[in-house]
Amino acid sequence: MHTRLLPLLIVLMAAVLLALGVPLAVSLAGAQQQKVVVDRIDDTARFAALAQFVTEPADPAAGDVDERRETLSSELRSYHRVYGIRAGVFYRNDSPMAHAPDDWFLPRAGEVRDAFEEALLSRRSHDPEQVWPWQRRSLVVASPVIRDGDVVAVVVTDSPTGQMRSRILRGWLVIAAGEAAAMLLAVGAALRLTGWVLRPVRVLDATTHDIATGRLKSRVAAAGGPPELRRLARSFNEMADNVESVLEQQRAFVADASHQLRNPLSALLLRIELLALELPEGNAEIASVQAEGKRLAQVLDDLLDLAVAEHSEPDLQVADIGALAAERVAAWSPTADAKGVRLTGTCPPTTAWADPVALSSVLDAVVDNAVKFTPGSETVEVRVSSNGDTATVVVTDDGPGLTDEELTRVGDRFWRSGRHQNIKGSGLGLSISRALLAAGGGSIAYERHEPHGLRVTVTVPRNAPTGEPTAQGLTDR
């Protein structure tokens, strides 16, 4: 969630900064150009004032010179020499009254011509097209020279824009630096904000995982955050308390019911035994009643074992999984031999964290099932291995196996495949195994074994559980 929320906030803040920065950059460019335009308008107005009273000499061939024209020409030359701006005063017929430099004349087309034509209509240039930093264009400003109400000439300035474009670019760099600094601050604020908002969510997620893996006493600690999430954490703790209470009541009921039913059931079985003594030997009905009674006693014992497994705390310690597996293979070998099943074990020394008693019970249930459902002359194999973080005991058999639908249900309480209803069992052995493993951080998984059969994988952790001292030498040997 953090990786989804943070980019969203960053994109939104970047959009806001761009929405503010782009108009500011455009406004800065416009302000810089307007400043230049105002200066040029002032300059053209001054030259227009000088050109307003310039008259043609009475006899140019005789060398008559208009002093005002000379003054205007001198001003234009000085203006060009100092500022590098081409400027000129042109009559309506395009002939120059005065201009600088001397080789600059009114062009027949382009921006200068457009500004000249506009000034002939008695309109002064005031809003030229914006020049951007990447455009190598000049800035043209024209003002009319009015005498007796008529436009007799036009003052035109053609200014280079290098300095103006440099100022605009520097201003944009300042804006960009400010935007970058604001973006960094925004990202930092977004990190703090998302951390503050999602901290209760992370704590809630971790607690939910703990409860899902069997640590029912885990609760959400106070972690700040928005009031809604703090209220959600309190509600979650209340829900967890209620769920734990209900589960405790359920376990207590199962344990009490199993325990209380054992005495009357034992008495009933004893009476049946006494009754069987008075009936002819080999009576089928009494034998069936005795078998069902013993099966019911086994179910009650398994229910009590399940309640104890789900309620008790495991005695975790560093154990040699290979040695435990080898012991169980040796213990079940006589049963397998009696059925004609080959029970083999590959159990190298492998240490892991486990409750030896609980793990032995799990292996008994798994190997018992494998031998029970494997036909004679087939093989059951027990193999121990590790991958660094976990140790596994894989039990494979060559029995009939399970279908895909049955694989999704194997391990459920009291569930047994319809094909195996006639085989002895209560359907609780694998449920007890799963509860015992989950209490110690382990797991059990089921899959097909090709070409036929079932593969059961028992996994236990090799890393020290939380709150336990780290074991030395917990490595493969």
Q: Decide if 200 contacts 232 (C-beta within 8 A).
A: yes
- The alpha carbon of residue 212 and the mean position of all alpha carbons in its chain are separated, in whole angstroms, by 22
Query: Which SS3 state, helix, strand or coil, does residue 444 take?
Result: strand
What is the C-alpha to C-alpha distance for residues 264 and 266, in angstroms, rounded to an integer? 5
Q: With beta carbons less than 8 A apart as the criterion, state whether 24 and 175 touch.
A: yes
pLDDT (0 to 100) of residue 122: 81
Q: Apex CA 47: angle with CA 44 and CA 51, to 5°?
A: 130
Determine the pLDDT at residue 257. Answer: 65
Strands (E), 291-361: 317-320, 342-346, 351-354
Q: What is the pLDDT of residues 115-169, one digit of tens each?
A: 888 888 888 776 788 888 888 888 889 999 888 888 889 999 998 888 898 999 9
pLDDT at residue 78, as a whole number: 92
Give the chain's residues under pLDDT 70. 1-4, 56-65, 126, 213-214, 223-225, 250-263, 265, 282, 295, 298-314, 411-429, 431, 465-477
What is the C-alpha separation between 417 and 134, in angstroms, rounded?
Answer: 80
pLDDT on residue 253: 67
Q: What is the pLDDT of residue 444?
A: 86
The pLDDT score that the predictor gives to residue 173 is 92
| Structure confidence at residue 2 (pLDDT) | 61
What is the share, in percent, of the chain residues with pLDDT greater than 70? Answer: 81
SS3 104: coil
E runs forming strands in 299-436 = 317-320, 342-346, 351-354, 379-386, 390-397
Q: What is the pTM of this model?
A: 0.48
Residues 6+ apart with CB under 8 A from 83: 159
Tell me how crowded residue 105 is: count the other CB atoms within 10 A of its CB. 13
pLDDT tens sequence across 74-122? 899 999 999 889 999 999 888 888 889 988 888 888 888 888 888 888 8
CA–CA separation, 361 and 268 (whole Å): 29
* Token pair recorded at residue 443: 């797991």
Indicate the angle between helix axes 162-212 and 227-277, nearest 10 degrees.
20
pLDDT score, position 420: 56
Amino acid at site 438 = A
